[in-house]
Amino acid sequence: MDFVVDHLSWFLSLHIMAFTAWMAGTFYLPRLYVYHTQTTPGTAESERFKTMERKLLRQIMTPAMIVTVLVGGMMSSVPGLVDWNSGWWWTKVICVLGLMGFHGACSKWRRLFAEDRNPHSEKYYRIANEVPTILMVIIVIMIMVRP
């Protein structure tokens, strides 16, 4: 615990960098799905999208999510840093859980694309692409403004 307190700025920096990487991937992956719906399964173009989607999810998004959650959890354990009775904190936590759920949905969609079994339309992914933006706006307002 003392280690976290003594190095809080470093942990906060790591948390912000990981969150930024996670969000960048979370914004981009549904956009890849939009374009992937426009390809014919089995074509070289479709296979290229499968590779891009897999690498983005496994090599960038998932590690960034794990670091974001672990470091955020460590920082929230610092006494006095979080008012556990305030609404802004629980709103943020709920939105982070929602973002993690969206991450899980992206994983499921990627698996379906990999199996050439995508059930959704281009419009579906265009709408889904807005979800992480809304959650990010709420998360940042809750942590910075603390209304």
The reported pLDDT for the residue numbered 6 is: 82
In the prediction, which pLDDT does 15 show?
A: 97
Which phi-psi region, left, alpha or beta, contains residue 41 (left: φ > 0; alpha: ψ -120 to 50)? beta
Please state, as a whole number, how many other Cβ atoms lie within 10 Å of the Cβ of residue 113.
22
CA nearest to 57, candidates 94, 112, 96, 130:
112
Closest to 65 (Cα-Cα) out of 30, 107, 100 = 100
- Show pLDDT as tens, one digit a residue, over the chain (147 residues): 577 678 899 999 999 999 999 999 999 999 999 999 999 999 999 999 999 999 999 999 999 999 999 999 999 999 888 989 999 999 999 999 999 999 999 999 999 999 999 999 999 999 999 999 999 999 999 999 999
C-alpha radius of gyration, the chain, whole number = 17
- For the chain, the helix, strand and coil percentages under 3-state DSSP, each to the nearest 5: 80, 0, 20
**The pLDDT value given to residue 1:** 58
